[in-house]
């Protein structure tokens, strides 16, 4: 997904000379050509994430359109106050683009795992929160949102799915399938790949959301008469769905403890029952409960 | 004392008295610096969003009352408007909101933020090949925040020669984490450094118009509470306090005696 990010931003930069890239010494090789072509619009500024955000705010104040990119926990959890005040409160727009979603850096342990970013950024007034599941979703949403004056968060993953989720429109969820059972599975981001495999013959409804803020309330309302099972490998989607209130919602996701394993993403998903087999068990368990 | 600076201090005292709010000593240490900035800045009080204006960011945002009174002295708005300082529906909060106060370029308050935003502004103007300047005022207590030094490193690395950082060395941290020899530290970071008496308007203006080829830090040797003996002697007690009527009279007498 980082390759697509680079490609789309490069194309945006060709057409819009306000675009510039700021890195926290991450993904530097991806942007070699960008740097050579536009040296005054490329800044591998240093490993100082809070200042990346503050500087981006200052750049935006003068009409430029920064893309700030580094690893998710450092750009979001460490910089929460800079995002809150320098971007949101001041209403200076910038694009925050991270890698290392959830357990993408499984082997690095809890210092590099990132699962609160979506939830905490949703709380900030004016913030847009996007978790693209595929490169196609990323491309469309970068193009539609990059210069709209809002701070926008794009959470990249090294494990995107390749499912066609239909027309990609900011703030709109996708109906992946409709079933005859009264259970609707709701997910977001790359995990959709596991969920599709898990529910393929279970006759449930399946919704996917690339935009967590604003959440597509109308789509959730359409399925509010069913039991909703939120399946997500991060915090934030459950809270977004529950904005509607009055729903019957279950959560199959993360525990309230650090996931102190290493290895590969798939091993952690398996341990958390967030691989296709674990998700399938959770859906069947809910189906087995009388409505 | 310059008479405009005396007037700004008198306004700060009066508004603090009537509103019940204000960080008076921290405002008093930077009155000359604020006034000097607006005397050397390219700006139009009658046209606050003039596209060719220089920019100022008050990084030590709790000196907002001093900033408001300086903007009023420069003609941005009548001083009477500031009387509702800190009130529920006032435009003039205890920390400034850029959408409410003409002349305020960035909303600040949490320490260690404004300088980074100012660095971004200066970088933007450099990219745009503009000759506009950016000024920011940082407190010595604020410089306990690591982000201040991150921002300085970036400013030096990007060679932002249109950025001036005023450092209010009012020794406010003498009961806490002190930063001795700030000028030496800023030089070590790669800045051009000027050291001035922060209450000498002429010296300030000379320093602020110095030609440099890298970020310029002006270390202000200041006295917290300067202008009123009582405030200087009881700095910590007066950090966030407003005077009652009798005390206001005494402070005004001290201010006009100096």
Instruction: Please give the domain boundaries of chain B with CATH numbers for all domains.
Output: 3-257 (3.40.50.970)
Closest-CA residue in chain B for A78? B147
Non-local (6+) Cβ contacts of B119 within 8 A are A51, A54, A55, A58, B151, B154, B155, B158, B160, B163
pLDDT of residue A290 exceeding 80, the answer is no
Show residues of chain A in contact with B106, CB under 8 Å. Answer: 57-58, 61, 86, 90
pLDDT band at A228 (very low <50, low <70, confident <90, very high): very high
Closest CA to A31 of A45, A17, A18: A45
Among B96, B120, B165, pick the best mutation site for testing chain A contact (most A Cβ within 10 A): B120
pLDDT band at B155 (very low <50, low <70, confident <90, very high): very high
* Interface touch A85/B107, C-beta < 8 Å: yes
**How does pLDDT run across B30-58, given as a tens digit for each residue?**
999 999 999 999 999 999 999 999 999 99
**How does pLDDT run across B187-228, given as a tens digit for each residue?**
999 999 999 999 999 999 999 999 999 999 999 999 999 999
Closest-CA residue in chain A for B147? A51
| CA gap A178, B96 in Å, rounded | 52
pLDDT band at B126 (very low <50, low <70, confident <90, very high): very high
User: How large is the average pLDDT for residues B164-193?
Assistant: 94
pLDDT of B241 reads 87
Instruction: Please give the domain boundaries of chain A with CATH numbers for all domains.
Output: 2-155 (3.40.50.970), 174-284 (3.40.50.920)
ipTM: 0.96
% of chain A at pLDDT higher than 70:
99
Provide the strand spans (E) within B28-94.
Answer: 55-58
Per-chain mean pLDDT for chain B: 96
pLDDT of B239 reads 82
pLDDT of A291 reads 67
* Interface touch A61/B124, C-beta < 8 Å: yes
In angstroms, the separation between the Cα of residue B98 and the nearest Cα of chain A is 7
Report helix, strand or coil for A86.
helix
Q: How many residues in chain A?
A: 291
Closest CA to B163 of B142, B140, B191, B141: B191
Looking at A46-50, B35-39, B178-182, which range is the least confident one? Answer: B178-182
| CA gap A20, A16 in Å, rounded | 9
Give the tokens for residue A231.
């399946």
pLDDT of A289 reads 83
Q: Which residue in the block uniquely carries the two structure tokens 């941290």?
A: B173
Query: Do B208 and B169 touch, CB atoms closer than 8 A?
Result: no
Show residues of chain A in contact with B125, CB under 8 Å. Answer: 62
Higher pLDDT, B234 or B194: B194
Show residues of chain B in contact with A63, CB under 8 Å. Answer: 124
User: How large is the average pLDDT for residues B152-173?
Assistant: 95
Q: Which residue in the block uniquely carries the two structure tokens 């459950």?
A: A238
pLDDT of residue B113 exceeding 90, the answer is yes
pLDDT of residue B173 exceeding 80, the answer is no
Per-chain mean pLDDT for chain A: 97
pLDDT of A193 reads 98
* Interface touch A56/B119, C-beta < 8 Å: no
pLDDT band at A210 (very low <50, low <70, confident <90, very high): very high
**Which residues is A188 bridged to in the sheet?**
A209
pLDDT of residue A31 exceeding 90, the answer is yes
| CA gap A95, A144 in Å, rounded | 12
pLDDT of B12 reads 97
Report helix, strand or coil for A289.
coil
| CA gap A50, B116 in Å, rounded | 9
**How does pLDDT run across A128-156, given as a tens digit for each residue?**
999 999 999 999 999 999 999 999 999 99
Closest CA to A48 of B60, B163, B116, B142: B116
Q: Is B137 on the interface with A (CB under 8 A)?
A: no
């Amino acid at each position: 997904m980082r390759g697509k990010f680079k490609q789309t931003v490069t194309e945006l930069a060709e057409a819009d000379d306000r675009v510039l890239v700021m890195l926290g010494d991450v993904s530097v090789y991806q942007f070699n050509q960008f740097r050579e072509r536009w040296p005054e619009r490329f800044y591998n500024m240093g490993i100082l994430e809070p200042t990346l955000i503050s500087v981006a705010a200052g750049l935006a104040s003068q009409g430029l359109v920064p893309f700030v990119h580094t690893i998710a926990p450092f750009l979001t959890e460490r910089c929460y106050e800079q995002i809150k005040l320098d971007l949101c409160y001041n209403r200076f727009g910038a694009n925050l683009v991270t890698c290392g979603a959830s357990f993408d850096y499984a082997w690095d342990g809890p210092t590099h795992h990132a699962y609160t970013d979506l939830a905490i950024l949703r709380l900030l007034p004016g913030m847009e929160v996007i978790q693209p599941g595929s490169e196609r979703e990323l491309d469309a949403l970068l193009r539609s949102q990059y210069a709209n004056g809002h701070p926008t968060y794009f959470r990249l993953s090294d494990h995107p799915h390749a499912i066609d989720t239909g027309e990609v429109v900011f703030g709109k969820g996708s109906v992946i399938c409709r079933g005859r059972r009264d259970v609707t599975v709701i997910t977001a981001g790359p995990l959709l790949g596991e969920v599709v495999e898990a529910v393929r013959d279970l006759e449930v409804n399946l919704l996917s959301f690339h935009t967590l803020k604003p959440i597509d309330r109308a789509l959730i309302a359409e399925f509010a008469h069913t039991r909703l099972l939120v399946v997500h490998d991060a915090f934030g989607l459950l809270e977004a769905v529950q904005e509607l209130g009055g729903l019957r919602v279950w959560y199959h996701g993360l525990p309230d403890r650090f996931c102190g394993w290493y290895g590969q993403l798939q091993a952690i998903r398996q341990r958390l029952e967030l691989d296709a087999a674990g998700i399938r068990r959770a859906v069947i368990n809910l189906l087995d409960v009388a409505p | 004392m310059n008479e405009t600076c005396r007037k700004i201090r008198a306004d700060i005292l009066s508004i603090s008295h009537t509103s019940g709010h204000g960080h008076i000593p921290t405002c008093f240490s930077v009155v000359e610096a604020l006034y000097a900035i607006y005397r050397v800045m390219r700006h139009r009080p009658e046209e606050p969003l003039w596209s060719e204006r220089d920019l100022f960011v008050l990084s030590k945002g709790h000196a907002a009352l001093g900033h408001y009174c300086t903007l009023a002295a420069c003609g941005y708005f009548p001083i009477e408007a500031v009387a509702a300082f800190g009130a529920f529906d006032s435009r003039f909060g205890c920390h400034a909101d850029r959408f409410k106060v003409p002349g305020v370029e960035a909303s600040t308050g949490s320490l260690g933020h404004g300088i980074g935003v100012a660095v971004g502004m200066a970088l933007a103007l450099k990219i745009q090949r503009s000759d506009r300047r950016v000024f920011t005022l940082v407190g010595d207590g604020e410089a306990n925040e690591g982000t201040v030094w991150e921002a300085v490193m970036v400013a030096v690395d990007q060679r932002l020669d249109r950025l001036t950082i005023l450092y209010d060395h009012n020794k406010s941290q003498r009961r806490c984490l002190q930063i001795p020899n700030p000028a030496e530290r800023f030089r070590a970071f790669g800045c051009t450094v000027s050291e001035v008496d922060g209450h000498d308007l002429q010296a300030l203006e000379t320093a602020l118009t110095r030609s440099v080829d890298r970020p310029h830090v002006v270390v202000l040797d200041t006295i917290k509470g300067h202008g009123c003996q009582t405030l200087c002697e009881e700095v910590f007690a007066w950090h966030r306090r407003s005077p009652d009527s009798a005390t206001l009279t005494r402070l005004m007498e001290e201010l006009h005696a100096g």
